[in-house]
Amino acid sequence: MPSHNLAVASCNVRGIQSKNLDILCLQETRLLNNNGICDVKKIWGNSTSLFSVGEDRADGIAILFYTSDVKIIKVCELIPGRLMYADIFMFGSKIRIINLYTAQDRTKKTKLSNKLKNLLYVGYHIIVCGDFNTITDNIDSSSSKPNKITRVGHILKIIMSENKLNDSFRILYPNKIDYTRFDTSCNSRIDRIYTSEKVTVLSYITKLLIESDHLTVITHIKINESEQCKHFWKMNTKILNIVKNNIYYIEQINRMKSILSEKEIMWLIICITKYKLWITRCRMTIDQVYVSSDNVFKQIICELRRRRTLDIKN
């Protein structure tokens, strides 16, 4: 099957004009409403352009296409103005383009990371572009203070590694120091482009295309149509283990409650309740198991109350 080369760029901007690109992902567009989007679309012309507007003035992201050889399959805004994706057919290949602009707030960063993780379980090529506002390696930042990778930075690195998404810069330059954002106190490489493992990274450059404190990240990649990703579905096996263990304990209570004392039964209930709280802290949603568990617990409690009533009467 033939292969095709793509030029993909990611830039944090307020406005941009660029050439010799196929896909351009923008962050911090600062478009406030649909009127602003319509104005930009008129300037952009007949080429496909996708926008997402957020609540804050600094929000706003977009995915722009310079080529007419693109078919949009699906577009979704996960966090308006901060996280969106487009499933496309381009040069005969199916690709998911994810564009993100991470907020400074740690809670919002964590929320975005969790949503991003769920977008990566697909069986075709993925390109993730964005202003991540966090580093994943100490080498990617230089400041007067000691570098420290945040918890979100560690999580992001794990997410990308588990889903076999590669930092296009590090593929070509494993140990090189380079930055994409500059200010008086810190220089950092927070603007990045990740690609699926089956995508070949041909080149990587940064340019100051407009007046900005961010450089535009440009990478040329090659997509081979015959090398679609093999992981069509990815299942979190932790969920299966938790479901299995929870059901196991429920069955044990049913089997043993006729031979245990009330105190022993209550002890089992407390243990499993703590186990359920642990599941909640793990943020696992297993509604059917919860309903089944609750029904069993209610039956046991009713049985204990009935026994206590009989004891009082006697």
Catalytically active residues, by annotation: 101, 131, 214
* Both structure tokens of 184: 């008086």
| Integer Cα distance of 71 and 94 in angstroms | 9
The answer to whether the CB of 7 falls within 8 A of the CB of 220 is yes
131 is known to lie in a ligand binding site: yes
| Integer Cα distance of 34 and 61 in angstroms | 13
| Integer Cα distance of 106 and 111 in angstroms | 9
133 is known to lie in a ligand binding site: yes
DSSP SS3 for 225: coil
- What burial letters (b/e) apply to 146-165, b meaning 16+ CB within 10 Å? eeebeebbebbbebbeebeb
Measured over the CA atoms of residue 42, residue 43, residue 47 and residue 50, the dihedral's sign is negative
Please count the helices (runs of H) and the strands (runs of E) in the chain: 7, 15
Binding residues for Mg(2+): 28, 131, 133, 213-214
Binding residues: 28, 131, 133, 213-214
